[in-house]
């Protein structure tokens, strides 16, 4: 018997339910399975410990004897072959060392029918795209290794409207399943790099527009570029205030669920003060100052 208790090996409490024990075993068995960790003696040893612990704790009678005596093999009335030798590293269920595929298949196919059709591990990848790519949609080509070490290449379409932190799940492109289970999935985690002009707020976009002082006071027009390559003419009303915001409907980001619909664009006016004045302009501003102080 390993020095650690079977409960410690599976990472569960002594009062864990059968379902909790089964879930813990499945997660650990997938993680340390030899197919996932080729040529890794530590993982191989851990895998054996996990199977030994589960073989006892998944059997109500053996678990009760283990809880009472600390070892299934030392319990009174234990049947020949039911003690530690049955679960040791060289004789698990009659299999030889190294024959882990047979052990795993035996566990799924015979010893515990509840473990059949277990799905394979998911494979996760990260990708960074621009805001323009998130607006239009794009593609990325991924090269990675499955949990079994097999190289794979796949082209993934990234849909318009995806947000930073969004996920794309490609079914059946992950690790192989167990005992007839389906393959795991490929999960793409998308990050969007900051944009030099636009700030994204959900499906809306926000932009700052520099307006000449005279246009802010007297009114005017300014050309504003839009996401997607187009532009519009923004009419600035007379006496517009610095920081005033104009909403342009349907000029934001496309909705991922329905790319034909878009959020809005919010334009914040920022006055652009002159850096130099001619003598005539200075005189006019001086006269205006006197008028404002009357």
Q: What is the pLDDT of residues 148-190, one digit of tens each?
A: 667 878 899 999 999 999 999 999 887 777 777 888 888 999 9
Q: Rounded to whole angstroms, how far apart are CA atoms 84 and 35?
A: 25
Residue 91, pLDDT > 70, answer no
For the chain, the average pLDDT equals 81
pLDDT top residue among 141 and 292? 141
Domain membership of residue 42 (yes or no) is yes
Say whether both 103 and 21 belong to one domain. Answer: yes
Residue 2, pLDDT > 60, answer no
Q: Which region among 7-21, 60-74, 267-281 has the lowest average model confidence (pLDDT)? A: 60-74
Residue 100, pLDDT > 50, answer no
Examine the fold and report which residue of 67, 84, 115 is the final residue of a domain before the chain moves on: 115
Residue 88, pLDDT > 50, answer no
Give me the CATH number covering residue 140: 2.60.260.20
Q: Return the pLDDT at 236.
A: 94
Q: Rounded to whole angstroms, how far apart are CA atoms 19 and 37?
A: 26
Q: Rounded to whole angstroms, how far apart are CA atoms 164 and 191?
A: 4
Please enumerate in sequence order all residues whose Cβ is within 8 A of that of 138, keeping only pairs 6 or more positions apart, or say none.
129, 157, 158
Say whether both 10 and 111 belong to one domain. Answer: yes
Q: pTM here?
A: 0.57
Say whether both 98 and 179 belong to one domain. Answer: no
Question: Can you give the length of the chain in residues?
Answer: 294
Say whether both 128 and 108 belong to one domain. Answer: no
Domain membership of residue 36 (yes or no) is yes
Torsion of the alpha carbons at 126, 30, 102 and 53, rounded to the nearest 10: 160
Provide the number of structural domains found in the chain. Answer: 3
Is residue 107 packed enough to be buried (19+ CB in 10 Å), middle (13-18) or exposed (0-12)? buried
Residue 47: CB atoms within 10 A of its CB come to 23
Say whether both 82 and 152 belong to one domain. Answer: no
Look up residue 251 and give its DSSP letter: -
Say whether both 19 and 88 belong to one domain. Answer: yes
Please enumerate in sequence order all residues whose Cβ is within 8 A of that of 109, keeping only pairs 6 or more positions apart, or say none.
116, 179
Say whether both 31 and 110 belong to one domain. Answer: yes
Percent of all residues in the chain with a pLDDT value above 90, rounded to a whole number: 44
Domain membership of residue 201 (yes or no) is no
Say whether both 107 and 22 belong to one domain. Answer: yes
Range of the domain at 76: 6-115
Residue 209, pLDDT > 70, answer yes
| φ, ψ for residue 65, nearest 5 deg | -65, -40
Say whether both 109 and 152 belong to one domain. Answer: no
Give the CA radius of gyration of the chain: 33
Q: Which region among 94-108, 215-229, 254-268 has the lowest average model confidence (pLDDT)? A: 94-108
Say whether both 131 and 107 belong to one domain. Answer: no
pLDDT top residue among 113 and 29? 29
Say whether both 45 and 140 belong to one domain. Answer: no
Residue 3, pLDDT > 70, answer no
Domain membership of residue 204 (yes or no) is no
Pairing of strands 186-192, 123-129: parallel
Q: Which region among 62-76, 129-143, 157-171, 242-256 has the lowest average model confidence (pLDDT)? A: 62-76
Domain membership of residue 178 (yes or no) is yes
């Amino acid at each position: 018997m390993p020095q650690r208790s079977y409960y410690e090996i599976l990472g569960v409490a002594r009062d864990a339910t059968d379902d909790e024990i089964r879930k813990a075993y499945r997660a650990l068995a997938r993680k340390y399975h030899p197919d996932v960790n080729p040529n890794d003696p530590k993982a191989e040893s851990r895998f054996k410990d996990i199977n030994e612990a589960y073989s006892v704790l998944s059997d109500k009678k053996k678990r009760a004897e283990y809880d009472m005596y600390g070892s299934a093999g030392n319990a009174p009335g234990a049947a020949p072959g039911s003690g530690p030798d049955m679960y040791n590293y060289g004789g698990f269920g009659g299999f030889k060392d190294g024959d882990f595929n047979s052990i795993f298949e035996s566990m799924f196919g015979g010893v515990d029918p509840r473990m059949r059709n277990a799905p394979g591990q998911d494979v996760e990848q990260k990708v960074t795209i621009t805001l323009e790519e998130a607006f239009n949609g794009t593609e990325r080509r991924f090269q990675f290794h499955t949990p079994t070490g097999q190289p794979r290449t796949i082209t993934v379409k990234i849909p318009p409207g995806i947000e930073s932190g969004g996920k794309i799940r490609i079914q059946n492109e992950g690790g192989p399943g167990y005992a007839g289970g389906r393959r795991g999935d490929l999960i793409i985690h998308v990050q969007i790099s900051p944009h030099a002009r636009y700030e994204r707020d959900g499906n809306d976009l926000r932009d700052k527009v520099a307006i000449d002082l005279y246009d802010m006071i007297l009114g005017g027009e300014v050309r504003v570029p839009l996401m997607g390559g187009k532009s519009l003419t923004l009419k600035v009303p007379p006496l517009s205030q610095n920081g005033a915001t104009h909403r342009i409907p349907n000029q934001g980001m496309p909705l991922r669920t329905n790319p034909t619909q878009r959020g809005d664009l919010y334009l914040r006016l920022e006055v652009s003060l002159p850096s130099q004045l001619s003598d005539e302009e200075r005189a006019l501003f001086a006269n205006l100052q006197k008028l404002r102080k009357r």
